[in-house]
Amino acid sequence: MKHPIACSLLAGMIFASAAMAAKPAWAQAPGAGSSERDGGRGAAPDVYRIGPEDILVISVWKNDALSRSVPVRPDGKISLPLLNDVQASGLTALELREVLTRKLAEYMPSPEVAVIVSDIRSFKVSVLGEINRPGRYELKTWSTVLDVLALVGGFTQFASRSRIIILQPDGKTMKRIPFNYNKALAGEQENFYLRNGDIILVP
């Protein structure tokens, strides 16, 4: 499903790949953003991490044989000539660029690599229960609980809007986060950003 600001997210990732040299080391490390440290609640995460089904464009300067568009497999890896399988899921575009540059340096002098996330397909949430269009939704940008509830067409007449539960993956368990729709509209409860794999349950 298309989101009206998907292009801005992709453009930002393209710019980030080009600006690798200007980024300090702390900004490239996993978990550097404060929004990642607080478990994805509150502000939108400041980096996008690659996931299964995403489409990546790998470009190696002056080497057309190694430059190509590749999908991220369900196991989180991509396949490239010379390098075979490389872990991509869980990394940012900049982190994957560093990994590929280091691995290609074993075969060529000073490789120049760019990594662009050309199509985001791994960011998915599910909405179940008393809503008009239950199902699994593919998001193209960071979205809040209210964003997604609007996307699914609103509630049925039987919905209990004050007793919504967000199930959030937390290791091997699922964290339960209560969400009161009416209080969120009134500004009395945080309308937080969802994470990949979240499930919204509307009783």
Q: What residues contact residue 8 under an 8 Å CB cut-off, 6+ apart?
A: 141
Q: Tell me the C-alpha distance between 42 and 5, whole Å.
A: 20
Computed over every residue of the chain, the mean pLDDT equals 83
DSSP bridge partners of 167: 176, 199
Query: Mean pLDDT, to the nearest integer, of 101-128?
Result: 95
Are the CB atoms for 90 and 49 separated by under 8 Å?
A: yes
pLDDT band at 46, cuts 50/70/90? confident
pLDDT band at 16, cuts 50/70/90? very low
Q: What residues contact residue 45 under an 8 Å CB cut-off, 6+ apart?
A: 33, 35, 36, 142, 193
Q: What is the pLDDT of residues 120-159, one digit of tens each?
A: 999 999 999 999 999 999 999 999 999 999 999 999 999 9
Residue with more model confidence, 172 or 146: 146
Q: Tell me the C-alpha distance between 65 and 84, whole Å.
A: 14
DSSP β-ladder status, 68-71 and 77-80 = unpaired
Q: What is the pLDDT of residues 19-41, one digit of tens each?
A: 433 333 323 333 333 344 344 45
Amino acid 47: pLDDT: 85
- For the domain with range 6-119, which CATH number is right: 1.10.1240.10, 3.40.50.10070, 1.10.3720.10, 3.30.1950.10? 3.30.1950.10
pLDDT band at 170, cuts 50/70/90? confident
Q: What residues contact residue 69 under an 8 Å CB cut-off, 6+ apart?
A: 55, 56, 57, 58, 118
What sign does the dihedral 203-169-41-16 (CA atoms) show? negative
pLDDT band at 117, cuts 50/70/90? very high
Query: Mean pLDDT, to the nearest integer, of 4-14?
Result: 43
Q: What residues contact residue 104 under an 8 Å CB cut-off, 6+ apart?
A: 60, 66, 82, 83, 111, 113
Burial status of residue 96 (CB atoms within 10 A of its CB: 0-12, 13-18, 19 or more): buried
CATH topology identical between 6-119 and 124-202 = no
Quick one: 124-202 is in which CATH superfamily? Outer membrane lipoprotein wza domain like (3.10.560.10)
What sign does the dihedral 12-43-152-76 (CA atoms) show? positive
Query: Mean pLDDT, to the nearest integer, of 169-183?
Result: 93
Per-domain residue ranges of the chain: 6-119, 124-202
If you search the block for the tokens 């179940």, which residue do you land on? Answer: 128
Q: Tell me the C-alpha distance between 202 and 179, whole Å.
A: 10
Q: Tell me the C-alpha distance between 166 and 176, whole Å.
A: 6
